[in-house]
Amino acid sequence: MSRLSQLFLLLSLSFSALFAEGVVWRSWDAGMKEAKASHKIIMIDAVRTGCHYCDEMEEAVFKDEAMAAYIAKRFVPVKVNLSQEKMPLDLDVSMTPSFFFISKEGELLKTVPGSWNQEDFRSFLDGVK
């Protein structure tokens, strides 16, 4: 095996291991700092403890390696558990889960309430600019 092939294999395995557990969520403060440095949009997942639909999305969507890699490439993922903390920016949550897309300047760009399957979630993520 050539050195280039070995390097490619090592990078592939490292990339897979990085997202093997799914989306790596940040706190609001850490997410805002990262967004300013990376110029990415913040994606807030607002959840509550015991929310069946929140848990369902975590398992079916956010633990998927490909979805985790896609989200990490385009967004800074932040999870806010409303059972333990308040929403940043005085955002109003009518149901959980709800997704809020925030610019690095702290401006609300889009709100999407509800639970989604991978295909539908990816489809609306493609439209967030």
Give average pLDDT by consecutive 10-residue segment, the chain, 129 residues. Answer: 50 46 96 97 98 97 97 98 97 97 96 96 92
pLDDT at 57: 97
Q: What is the pLDDT of residue 129?
A: 82
pLDDT at position 21, please? 83
According to the model, what pLDDT value does residue 26 have? 98
Q: How high is the pLDDT of residue 106?
A: 95
Cis peptide before 97 (omega within 30 of 0): yes
Tokens, residue 56: 């369902």
In degrees to the nearest 10, what's the CA dihedral of 115, 118, 124, 125? 110
pLDDT digits (tens, 9 = 90+) for 91-121: 999 999 999 999 999 999 999 999 999 999 9
CA distances (Å), 116 to each of 36, 85, 113, in order? 28, 23, 9
Residue of 78, 83, 1, 91 whose CA lies nearest to 41: 78
Are the C-beta atoms of residues 98 and 78 closer than 8 Å to each other? no
What are the strands of the beta sheet with 108-113, ordered from one edge? 75-81, 41-47, 98-102, 108-113
Lookup: tokens for 39: 């110029």
What is the model's pTM?
0.83
